[in-house]
Amino acid sequence: MFSIEHEFDATVVTLVDEASPARQEDITINMFEDCITVEQLDPRTEEVQLITFSMEQLRDLAAALNLPEGVYQLRPENK
């Protein structure tokens, strides 16, 4: 299950792990104009862990989800 909310400066997506037998904490993804942040509560420390992706890193992650093992570099398409 997930929710999408549009706020003043970001779009916020929250992913809820409802069906997993080893349920994980919710993940919150904040999409800003120049970066993406991913947050999740660490239940061991009760602290929120934050990761920030540049737009280029997010593009690379999206590409990596559909590629086999290896090292890649995305290049702009020639027009």
The predicted structure's pLDDT at residue 79? 56
Assess if residue 69 is contained within a domain: no
The share of the chain scoring above pLDDT 90, in percent, equals 68
Assess if residue 6 is contained within a domain: yes
Read off the amino acid at residue 33: E
The predicted structure's pLDDT at residue 74? 83
Overall number of domains in the chain: 1
Q: Which domain holds residue 33?
A: 2-64
Assess if residue 76 is contained within a domain: no
Given pLDDT bands bounded at 50, 70 and 90, which one contains residue 78?
low
Assess if residue 74 is contained within a domain: no
Assess if residue 18 is contained within a domain: yes
pTM score of the predicted model = 0.81
What strand order describes the sheet that includes 27-31?
Answer: 2-6, 11-15, 27-31, 35-42, 47-54
